[in-house]
Structure 1
Amino acid sequence: MYDWANSVYSLVITSTIFPVYYNSVTQSEDLGDKVNFFGIEVVNTVLYSYSISFSFLVIALISPLLSGIADYSGKKLAFMKLFAYIGSVSCAGLFFFDGSNLEFGIICSVLASIGFSGSIVFYNAFLPEIATEDEMDFLSARGFSLGYIGSVILLVLNLAMVQVPEVFGLTDGGEAARWSFLITGIWWIGFAQIAFRFLPDNPYHRKVKKAIFFKGYREIKRIFKVVRKTVVTRRFLLAFFFYSMGVQTIMYLAATFGDKELMLPGDKLILTILIIQLVAIAGSYLFAYVSKMFGNKLSLIIMVLVWLLICGAAYYVVNEYQFYALAFFVGMVMGGIQSLSRSTYAKLIPAETTQHASYFSFFDVTEKLAVVFGTFSYGFIEQITGNMRNSALFLGLFFLVGLGFLLLVRIPKLEFKPSFT
């Protein structure tokens, strides 16, 4: 149920309503799309890209240490709660962002992103503890699907608030958008209580000891050496890093692209994201089935090839109907590549280990660094070329490199036992 709880943040805040709201309140007659952030003049969308990069850089730096501590002390659930509360409160805090307090809005956005990403580090690490290896693909797909369903339900409500604010006793769409941020924070932490109630707390009965900080660091260092020597895991993480640079950047900045390059109004952008979410539900199960029939590797390769075509097509999109068609294909592979990447990595963790959070930290850090480099590259290319289409085209290179590494990976279907070189 944590997928159901936190996915509303990913959809409402990062993908739809907040990017559109942010763009609208940071435009001015005097400066156009330029803003002053702590005295520095920068393009509003570039600032937003960089803020995402910064938040994920923070998580990439601290999550390996935190997960090592969590495994050593048996406090995965406690750390998951901590980050979930940070994220949901910061998300609700965006209610007070109105454009005049840009620094406050960016800080809340960054903290919400840190809370979301930090909680996922520990949430993902529960997968090997609640599912057998042959259950992981479909359980992971089920989690993402529940997340898509829950987030679509809340997005439809928020969309209604934005479109007809007077029905809800609101003055305009801007006020409705701010209320949607508050509702998203409440939904997130409210439904998270179900996961907090039923996820296993310290299943290996570890006790907190002194010098936990240093022991946690030693644990993560030890596991890093194991991962580095495991050929299949190392190659998979490299492939995952490069194709995630493209996947995550598209997820975070698709609405911004439609707003700035195609001049689509907010309701049509939100409709686009709804298409992506609904199709992603089917996509998650479709590629879980393909994986079951033909293996994880072939399923991942097919999806990366589709992502490559999406990047090329994005460069030539000129109207809303082409954008909708592109959204359909994004949805088809978005859910599948996320859920299957998670379950594939879970299969690569040695069966005898109990250090799941520490192992999963490498997966999560890889993803976070991919967001850092992907969103930064996207913003940087826009800054130097003045065109987001060039940024979208450049993302295709990341998928191409990721495909190359993926072709080198030999992913077993069942009962994986790592071999070392």
Structure 2
Amino acid sequence: MPTPAPPADPPVDPTAESPAARRREQRGWYVYDWANSAFYTTVISVFLGPYLIAVARTAACAQDFPQIAAATCADGFDRLTVQNPGLGYVDVLGMDIRPAAFFGLITTVAVLGQILILPIVGALADHIGRKKEMLGVFAYAGALAAMGLYFVEGDRYLLGGVLFILANLAYGSSIVVYDSFLPQISTPQERDHVSSRGWAIGYLGGGLLLALNLVLYLNYEALGLTQGESVRISMMSAGLWWATFTIVPLLRLRNRPVPAHERTTRAAVGGSFRQLGRTLKGLRQYPLTLLFLVAYLVYNDGIQTVIGNSSAFASEALKLKPEVQISAILMVQFVAFFGALLLGSLARRFGTKRTVLASLVLWTVIVVMALFVREGDALQFYLMAFAIAIVLGGSQALSRSLFSQVIPKGKEAEYFSLLQISDKGSAFIGALTVTIALQLTNSYRIAILSMIVFFVLGFVLLALVNLPKAIRAAGNEVPEGI
């Protein structure tokens, strides 16, 4: 029978700590955004999808057309599969999957995996209080998986899929633990500033490594590399960047005391499940927190869908070259750094809720602009990307800050896991809306315009949230200018 630990002190109130101590932790906390954003920008946003599809095609070619050279097969893959409709598939656990669909399949598996494990991660972090150690475990697991992508070549599409799923699960789990530090290292008055600065620094770090990797990618021949080698080095560098800079938050962040819990790992996991169940049942006691969560689910789904379809919009609707798309992605990273800081400053002046609502109005204007961007006009596309960058980081950072105000103390990781899975779990709604719009109209302009529903509905739901009442109901202090 495990012996329970002695009672611990109540959670440390950040207002009771010195400003210098808080700033030290905040600076370390910022660096984790700098560290992990490299994985999202370099691996997920730019390199892995096209590369892994190409590897899957190589595998399909080697299996179905062994007599044809790999380079010739890759160039004529679509023609060969049209001529041989029963061929051109790769095997995934006994299923025949088209190479073009392979990345979408593993992304779906990763999302479903996050929906299952993130609440458990959040409950365990709050239950045992070893957040710093858990952050390190997930960060280094994800970083090692990302570095392992260097070995994905030839026909190793399954290795790439497994490593991506592991890296994605570790990334999402680390973000839950990371976000849960926010209310512990900042006072209610500091929350908007700290959240916005962390988000901004993340864009800067991710953008800097992406810029270096694009230089490598665009000059691979001059450096004596193949195109595939330049991509594999870029993906490995994201994992190395993630691992290296994670050292800083692990040195700066501190665990907070939690109530007594089971000493054995098995008992602690069982206890975390029971705590998660109590939290989910208790969510009914915080209806305004739940309303905010639904509002965020709706408008963030619109944001993620616009971002996820921006490259397809550029290529299909505007007929722009890949170089324009890549340079626009790079520009967004650096402009979003200033955008997040700008919206954080506006929140201090006009109030956080008003600033988020204003950002949703701007998102609505942006998707309407998509109707009027001329085909082949790169300048207009850059202007649209610039407008997105201004509101992108700020709207998400301030939403994170608002959410941290309406959750009860001691359950930060659990509630942030709900925020994360509402983000991941709702992603299919926006994707489905775009699919239906394309099916009915065959127009990416109309598909992007359909996102206006998400921004308008999200605006209305957020406007209905009485934030001071929600904050008091969660037992927290209402900051000025909320």
Would you say same fold, with TM above 0.5? yes
Among 84, 88, 95, which residue is 2:150 paired with? Answer: 95
Query: Residues of 1 paired with 2:283 and 2:191: CA distance?
Result: 20
Q: Which residue of 2 aligns with 1:10?
A: 40
* 1:176 to partner: Cα distance: 1.1
- Is 1:417 the counterpart of 2:472 in the alignment? yes
Among 56, 73, 76, which residue is 1:29 paired with? Answer: 76
Query: Residues of 2 paired with 1:260 and 1:92: CA distance?
Result: 33
- The question of whether the paired residues in 1 share the 8 Å contact of 2:121 and 2:173 is answered with no
Q: Which residue of 1 aligns with 2:291?
A: 235
Q: 1:342 to 1:282 in 2, by over 3 A?
A: same
Task: State which drifts further: 111-120 or 208-217.
Answer: 208-217
Superposed counterparts of 1:298-337, under 5 Å: 298-314=354-370, 317=373, 318-319=375-376, 320-337=378-395
Superposed counterparts of 1:130-279, under 5 Å: 130-167=185-222, 169-204=223-258, 208-210=262-264, 211-259=267-315, 261-279=317-335
Q: Which residue of 1 aligns with 2:128?
A: 73
Query: Residues of 1 paired with 2:148 and 2:436: CA distance?
Result: 28
Unaligned runs of 5+ in 2: 1-30, 58-73, 82-87, 476-482
Q: 1:301 to 1:218 in 2, by over 3 A?
A: same
Task: State which drifts further: 117-126 or 87-96.
Answer: 87-96
Query: Residues of 2 paired with 1:390 and 1:85: CA distance?
Result: 42
* 1:332 to partner: Cα distance: 0.7
* 1:328 to partner: Cα distance: 0.5
Deviations 1:15-68 (A, max 9, x none): 223345456665752326986343434472x55345333312211221112211
Query: Residues of 2 paired with 1:269 and 1:277: CA distance?
Result: 13
Task: State which drifts further: 233-242 or 367-376.
Answer: 367-376
Q: 1:363 to 1:330 in 2, by over 3 A?
A: same
* 1:315 to partner: Cα distance: 5.0
* 1:389 to partner: Cα distance: 4.6
Task: Tell me the secondary structure at the aligned position of residue 89 of structure 2.
Answer: strand
- Is 1:398 the counterpart of 2:454 in the alignment? yes
Identity of aligned residues (%): 30
Task: State which drifts further: 402-411 or 128-137.
Answer: 402-411
Task: Tell me the secondary structure at the aligned position of residue 133 of structure 1.
Answer: coil
Query: Residues of 1 paired with 2:396 and 2:80: CA distance?
Result: 33
Task: Tell me the secondary structure at the aligned position of residue 278 of structure 2.
Answer: helix
Amino acid at match of 1:222: R
- Is 1:362 the counterpart of 2:418 in the alignment? yes
Q: 1:250 to 1:160 in 2, by over 3 A?
A: same
Amino acid at match of 1:130: I
Task: Tell me the secondary structure at the aligned position of residue 77 of structure 2.
Answer: coil
Unaligned runs of 5+ in 1: none
Deviations 1:291-331 (A, max 9, x none): 22222221111111222233333355423222211111110
Query: Residues of 2 paired with 1:396 and 1:270: CA distance?
Result: 25
Q: Which residue of 1 aligns with 2:119?
A: 64
Query: Residues of 1 paired with 2:282 and 2:455: CA distance?
Result: 27
- Is 1:408 the counterpart of 2:464 in the alignment? yes
Q: 1:366 to 1:31 in 2, by over 3 A?
A: same
Q: How much is the aligned-residue C-alpha RMSD, in angstroms?
A: 2.9
Query: Residues of 1 paired with 2:424 and 2:97: CA distance?
Result: 27
In the alignment of these two chains, the number of paired residues is 415
- The question of whether the paired residues in 2 share the 8 Å contact of 1:52 and 1:375 is answered with no
* 1:383 to partner: Cα distance: 7.5
Among 151, 168, 176, which residue is 1:121 paired with? Answer: 176
Q: Which residue of 1 aligns with 2:398?
A: 340
- The question of whether the paired residues in 2 share the 8 Å contact of 1:69 and 1:216 is answered with yes
- The question of whether the paired residues in 2 share the 8 Å contact of 1:162 and 1:177 is answered with yes
Give the TM-score normalised by structure 2. Answer: 0.78
- The question of whether the paired residues in 2 share the 8 Å contact of 1:243 and 1:403 is answered with yes
Task: State which drifts further: 371-380 or 194-203.
Answer: 371-380
Q: 1:136 to 1:170 in 2, by over 3 A?
A: farther
Query: Residues of 1 paired with 2:315 and 2:50: CA distance?
Result: 7
Q: 1:311 to 1:228 in 2, by over 3 A?
A: farther
* 1:259 to partner: Cα distance: 4.4
Query: Residues of 1 paired with 2:43 and 2:233: CA distance?
Result: 12
* 1:118 to partner: Cα distance: 1.4
* 1:375 to partner: Cα distance: 4.2
Amino acid at match of 1:86: A
Q: 1:275 to 1:406 in 2, by over 3 A?
A: same
Query: Residues of 2 paired with 1:381 and 1:13: CA distance?
Result: 29
Amino acid at match of 2:144: V
- The question of whether the paired residues in 2 share the 8 Å contact of 1:20 and 1:255 is answered with no
Q: 1:80 to 1:384 in 2, by over 3 A?
A: farther
